[in-house]
Amino acid sequence: MKIMENYSLKSLNTFGLKVDAKYFTVVASLDEIKQAGKFADKKAVSLMVLGGGSNVLFRDDFPGLIIRNNLKGISVIDETDDLVYVKVMGGEVWDDFVSFCVGNDWGGVENLSLIPGSVGAVPIQNIGAYGVELKDSFFELEAWFWKSGEVKVFSKNECEFGYRSSIFKKKLKGEVIITSVTIRLDKKPLLKTGYGAIENELAGINDRKRTVNDVRNAIINIRRSKLPDPVELGNAGSFFKNPVVSSTKLSKLKEEYPEIVSYQQRDGNCKLAAGWLIDKCGWKGKMVGDAGVHTDQALVLVNHGNATGNEILILAKEIQESVFVKFGVELEMEVNVV
């Protein structure tokens, strides 16, 4: 295992921030994971696992060890007439895995197409899009504990999945590296097309003839039309979570803003569209130095070239404050600030 010093992370974070890691390494086996943990202990530095770098905001250089998960492999571990269980290693690219599933006509993750990042990172965030979350098709995962060297299998309940959250983002933050994830997929999938503009994209395709591949292509088209490509404009996708408020709070907001965008939740609460709130506060397209808000999607903060992580964070906090003052609603950051 090779340890590199003062390693540039510019190409490894989708904001394109010019930051360095004191130490950097790539792990491709459990033995290398063990070596990396020992190195961090010996140097008495913190460590961080970096997947695709698509959901992180570095405020400054990282003073410890950055570990890139490069564990590879996809395998079917169980199968019935209706279901297939696929184990995928943490270093695989998530969208490559989605493409693999769709290519086999297995349903369950097609709505999560084109979400950037590695497989090992997706349970941490419980990624979600277009009416689907990872937990909907999740079966189990394996994680290595840095301190004890124990490998533990986590069931869905043990992961404590929430809205863009899990036990790995809270109680176990920084304590494990997710080495593999097992997903349960449907051989006879029930397509979920009722969210957003999916139906518009699928117009012209007979309901009975629609496939998981049709849904994947529709979502790819939607995402590409709405979200900037990080290669062209540094960003981390949605920067804020959609806030959840009580039905009473929503009723009061509708008195003043009848056009407010909201989604009813099963528990009786209502989810508000964070992008709509930010837009109504006048932020869409604004720039503060090289940090800015995307011109087409107010939920996306961008780096126009030379913004620092701290400058983007200051902009984010100003947005949070203005939304709270105008609507009395608190926005929570979805991006992990380091």
Which residues does the annotation mark as catalytic? 164, 238, 334
Determine if residue 220 is left, alpha or beta; phi over 0 gives left, psi from -120 to 50 gives alpha, anything else beta: alpha
Report CA-CA distances (Å) from 188 to 80, 106, 204. 11, 7, 22
Q: How is residue 61 written in tokens?
A: 């250089």
Among 196, 236, 220, 327, smallest CA distance to 274 is for: 327
**What order of strands is seen across the sheet that includes strand 262-264?**
244-245, 270-272, 262-264
Report CA-CA distances (Å) from 37 to 31, 122, 147, 148. 10, 22, 8, 10
Tell me the HSE value of 270 on the side-chain side, using a 13 A CA sphere: 16
- CA distance linking residue 8 with residue 209, whole number of Å: 48
Q: Is 182 helix (H, G, I), strand (E, B) or coil?
A: strand
C-alpha triplet 283, 289, 291: angle, nearest 5°: 55
